[in-house]
């Protein structure tokens, strides 16, 4: 049985300057309740790792709008003009990463790999400052793993053991982020007795705490 | 042709490059229109990089499901046989060469197949999203674009805006013609007879290899 | 609708000297019908990539016993004494790879990666002849991707579109191998109309042909 | 103690190193016995690297399912809450540091924590399977072994058989004692009072740091 905590318990796991991976793609599959609580607690100088910057009033966009984000690592911020403004004014550091590289960096962080070679970004500014390694006379960029202190996931179905599934396109970065942080907290849309063992997307061993949406 | 007719004309020509069973990723904007012009006997599989294959049309009020979106975050539907997956598998599919064709727009594209599509210096930088992986990984990269931007050439000898990918574009399709990037240069394979070859050459800042181009025959 | 072929059509996709990835772990999740047909056709000089050498009369062990395997890339051959004999007598080249490295090499082959950095095998004979790369002062072995001409999978449930699932521990190397070869043929234990889109393990785009077990 | 008593004694002591909620991978042979000695208030999750967490006991005739096996290919069962996964996730779990404890046997283990367990020169080489990943990736590596092999020391200054992993072992548990690999050497933390310290030292080819070791108290 996995421990179910109250949203107010979230504060015990937060600290200024921490790094947080947040599941979701344009805020689809993002745990909004957990984000709201971090806004309320006003934790400062956060590094956010997320596919994108959310929208102005959705997803990690709420943390950005509230001035809590010191650094954003994402593949896209185009739907959040406030993120663009803070970035161009130098008020938020923003590292833009190709989406596939971002997913793979997080995977490497969770899978104990020291890095991987990708052709994506060769000959572009993405390769700047990175090691180029040739394999069979073909060049690749060496990209390094990413990890964070905390992952906030949005599980659409969570069983009492903590096994977690993400329906339809809410899945996106959620399962891979579950593997790459010291602590994993899942916002559960729906709790069930048991997920079919063949179809578990995130095994319970990755999940530390569950916050139920109904409460 | 008005602006919409031009877009449809280009999309219709791009559609002819797709084959039955192809896995295809269409960028936002003009490329999205390509799906409207497929012959009824050709069934392609559309991928959306946020995590699905079998992208269907926008939902009706009845079929709307907030959990099903495309890479732009817009609501979509899933066709029969389609399925969902996570971002790591999505980009294994993309980077691993499993996407047969990707169709994207551009700011600039050049005769060596390099593409600039994500940064206009001095403007807000939206980020590359999945575009760099798509252009690098897809078997065939088609740029679907108006030939010029308000009269200014978009097809160049060498892109001067920051690149999305180097030497990855295979084909450029505009309202003026169809061009293919080959080792020996940018070949004009087809031209739209509404324009003279001279007009096409003058609208292009790249060196075009012109060797008996065919006529682009499409109803508008 | 994915093309269903007869077992006798398998010959159209085989040639001497080809490389074949075979799903399964100690022959659990291995497509025995497809193996049997390759034994019958006596295709020669095959390179087999598989977790293990199967058993003497099960899985890829049947190809080994029939002298068809020129080279075996596997993590373990201990349950097949014939494989050990052929290896030690120099009659079959055998490349032993740590199991996690093997899985990751196949994944890299399917995911367009040029390689990856793993700590597994450092300071052992596994690192011999490989590039060692330090990241943040920690050493890693650069391991390269693996691909093959053909993958033979054992799908326990396959839908009419070709979406394929592998129940329980039959899954093992099957889904990753589906991504890393030019051609993929699935032996289907059971055909169904449709697999739930949330629970598809191998999307139909990876599958080329299906051989139904019942026939 | 007879051979089986010795094995059970070692397994029982190893069990004390496991904590509630731990993810544990047990090698074949002696390590498998560890599961029999867990206190009833401690629930651990057993992983099998072929693709499951929640490894249960061998099946009865009623619960037998040919599709559920362990890494040795033997039929097993799945406990409530357990789940299946593929080999890439299995080794992401292993190599990524998500396994709290792995327990393995050895041919040789040395005072620097290096382990030799997979090749006896001149004998058939079975392959390393998942052992190299497990020893490299697990948070804590415990070697559970008889102290000697027919009187010949297995705990050495330096392994001379081909290594499974270098400097990765944390603890060695034998019928004679409990040893921990630390930066300053191999510490004897506990000893079995059935043996004198001198006997233990003489059965060990490594330099043991001995500083008030505790008594290993376990019923056989």
First to last CA, chain B: 8
Determine contact: B5 vs chain A, CB below 8 A.
no
Q: What is the mean pLDDT of chain C?
A: 97
pLDDT value at position D218?
A: 74
Phi, psi of A98, rounded to the nearest 5 degrees: -55, 140
Measured between beta carbons, which residues in chain A are less than 8 angstroms from residue B48? 169
Question: D129, D138, D164, D168: which to substitute to probe chain C, counting the most C Cβ within 10 Å?
Answer: D129
Measured between beta carbons, which residues in chain C are less than 8 angstroms from residue A168? 197-198
Q: How confident is the model at residue D219 (pLDDT cuts 50, 70, 90)?
A: low
Average pLDDT of span D71-81: 95
Determine contact: A18 vs chain D, CB below 8 A.
no
Reading phi first (left if > 0) and then psi (alpha if -120 to 50, else beta), residue C17 is in: left
pLDDT value at position B218?
A: 75
CA dihedral A179, A181, A187, A188 (to 10 degrees): 20
pLDDT value at position C214?
A: 74
pLDDT value at position B49?
A: 97
Q: Report in angstroms the alpha-carbon separations of C184 from B24, C164, D72.
A: 19, 11, 27
Q: What is the mean pLDDT of chain B?
A: 95
| D202 annotated active-site | no
Phi, psi of D70, rounded to the nearest 5 degrees: -95, -175
Is C168 close to D67, i.e. CB distance below 8 A?
yes
Over residues C149-169, the pLDDT tens digits come to 999 999 999 999 999 999 999
Who has greater pLDDT, B219 or D113? D113
pLDDT value at position C170?
A: 98
CB atoms within 10 A of CB A204: 26
Nearest to A208 by CA among A145, A149, A147, A168: A149
DSSP letter, residue A201: S
**How would you write chain B as a 3-class SS string?**
CCHHHHHHHHHHHHHCCCCCCCEEEECCCHHHHHHHHCCCCCCCEEEECCCEEEEECCCCCCCCCCCCECCCCCECEEEEEEEECEHHHHHHHHHCCCCCEEEECCCEEECCCCEECCCCCCCCCCCCCCHHHHHHHCCEEEEECCCEECCEECEECCCCCCCCECCCCCEEECCCEEEEEECCEEEEEEECCCCCHHHHHHCCECCEEEEEEEECCCCC
Is D133 close to C79, i.e. CB distance below 8 A?
no
Question: C56, C100, C122, C199: which to substitute to probe chain D, counting the most D Cβ within 10 Å?
Answer: C100
User: In this model, does residue C51 exceed pLDDT 80?
Assistant: yes
User: In this model, does residue C121 exceed pLDDT 70?
Assistant: yes
**Domain limits, chain B:** 7-215
Q: How confident is the model at residue B124 (pLDDT cuts 50, 70, 90)?
A: confident
Question: The sheet that has B115-116: what strands, in order across it?
Answer: B115-116, B108-110, B155-156
pLDDT value at position A19?
A: 98
Measured between beta carbons, which residues in chain C are less than 8 angstroms from residue D50? 25-26, 28, 169, 172
pLDDT value at position D122?
A: 83
Over residues B78-120, the pLDDT tens digits come to 999 999 999 999 999 999 999 999 999 999 999 999 999 998 8
Over residues A131-188, the pLDDT tens digits come to 999 999 999 999 999 999 999 999 999 999 999 999 999 999 999 999 999 999 999 9
Over residues C76-98, the pLDDT tens digits come to 999 999 999 999 999 999 999 99
Determine contact: A200 vs chain C, CB below 8 A.
no
Determine contact: C61 vs chain D, CB below 8 A.
no
Who has greater pLDDT, B35 or A41? A41
Over residues B49-70, the pLDDT tens digits come to 999 999 999 999 999 999 999 9
Q: CA-to-CA distance for A122 and A103, rounded, in angstroms?
A: 17
DSSP string, chain D: --HHHHHHHHHHHHHTT--TT-EEEE-SSGGGGGGGG--TT---EEEETTTEEEEEPPP-TTT--TT-B-TTS-B-EEEEEEEE--HHHHHHHHHTT--SEEEE--SEEETTS-EE-S--TTS-----TTHHHHHHH-SEEEEE--SEETTEE-EESS--SPPSBSS---EEE-SSEEEEEETTEEEEEEE-TTS-HHHHHHT-BSPEEEEEEEE-----
pLDDT value at position B219?
A: 63
Over residues B178-206, the pLDDT tens digits come to 999 999 999 999 999 999 999 999 999 99
Is A98 close to B130, i.e. CB distance below 8 A?
yes
Buried/exposed code over B47-57 (b: 16+ C-beta within 10 A; e: otherwise): bbbbbbbbbbe
Is B127 close to A167, i.e. CB distance below 8 A?
no
Please report all neighbours of C, defined by 3+ CB atom pairs within 8 A: A, B, D
Is A116 close to C113, i.e. CB distance below 8 A?
yes
Over residues C171-199, the pLDDT tens digits come to 999 999 999 999 999 999 999 999 999 99
DSSP string, A117-173: EE-TTTTSGGGTTS-EEEETTEEEEEE----EEEEEEEESEEETT--EE--GGG-BT
In CATH, which superfamily holds the domain spanning A3-212?
Glutaconate Coenzyme A-transferase (3.40.1080.10)
Length of chain C equals 215
User: In this model, does residue D28 exceed pLDDT 90?
Assistant: no
Contact D92, A110 (CB under 8 A): yes
**Pick among 1.10.10.10, 3.40.50.10210, 3.40.50.1980, 3.40.1080.10: CATH of B7-215:** 3.40.1080.10
């Amino acid at each position: 049985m996995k421990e179910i905590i109250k949203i107010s318990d979230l504060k015990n796991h937060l600290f200024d300057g921490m790094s947080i991976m947040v599941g979701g793609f344009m805020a689809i599959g993002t745990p909004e309740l957990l984000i709201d609580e971090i806004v309320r607690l006003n934790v400062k100088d956060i590094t956010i790792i997320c596919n994108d910057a959310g929208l102005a009033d959705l997803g990690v966009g709420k943390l950005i709008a509230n001035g809590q984000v010191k650094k954003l690592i994402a593949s896209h911020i185009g739907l959040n003009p406030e993120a663009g403004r803070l970035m161009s004014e130098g008020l938020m550091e923003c590292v833009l990463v190709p989406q596939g590289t971002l997913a793979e960096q997080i995977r490497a962080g969770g899978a104990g790999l020291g890095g991987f070679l990708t052709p994506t970004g060769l000959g572009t500014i993405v390769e700047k400052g990175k090691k180029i390694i040739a394999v069979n006379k073909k060049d690749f960029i060496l990209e390094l793993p990413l990890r964070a202190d905390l992952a906030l996931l949005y599980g659409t179905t969570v069983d009492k053991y903590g096994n977690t599934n993400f329906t339809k396109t809410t899945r996106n970065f959620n399962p891979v982020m579950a593997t790459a942080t010291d602590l994993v907290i899942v916002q559960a849309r729906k709790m069930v007795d048991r997920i079919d063992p063949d179809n578990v997307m995130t095994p319970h061993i990755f999940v530390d705490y569950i916050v139920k949406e109904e409460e | 042709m008005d602006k919409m007719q031009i877009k449809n004309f280009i999309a219709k020509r791009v559609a002819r490059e797709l084959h039955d069973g192809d896995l295809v990723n269409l960028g936002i904007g003009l490329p999205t229109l390509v799906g409207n012009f497929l012959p009824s006997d050709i069934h392609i599989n559309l991928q959306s990089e946020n995590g699905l294959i079998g992208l269907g049309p926008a939902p009706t009020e009845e079929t709307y499901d907030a959990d099903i979106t495309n890479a732009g975050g817009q609501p979509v539907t899933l066709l029969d046989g389609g399925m969902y997956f996570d971002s790591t598998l999505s980009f294994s599919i993309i980077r691993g060469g499993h996407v047969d064709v990707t169709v994207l727009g551009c700011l600039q594209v050049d005769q060596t197949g390099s593409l600039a599509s994500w940064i206009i210096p001095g403007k807000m930088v939206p980020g590359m999203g999945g575009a760099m992986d798509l252009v690098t990984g897809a078997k065939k990269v088609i740029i679907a674009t108006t030939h010029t931007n308000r009269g200014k050439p978009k097809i160049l000898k060498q892109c001067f805006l920051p690149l999305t990918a180097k030497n990855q574009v295979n084909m450029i399709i505009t309202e003026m013609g169809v061009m293919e990037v080959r080792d020996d240069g940018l070949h004009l394979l087809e031209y739209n007879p509404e324009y003279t070859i001279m007009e096409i050459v003058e609208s292009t800042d790249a060196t075009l290899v012109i060797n008996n181009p065919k006529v682009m025959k499409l109803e508008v």
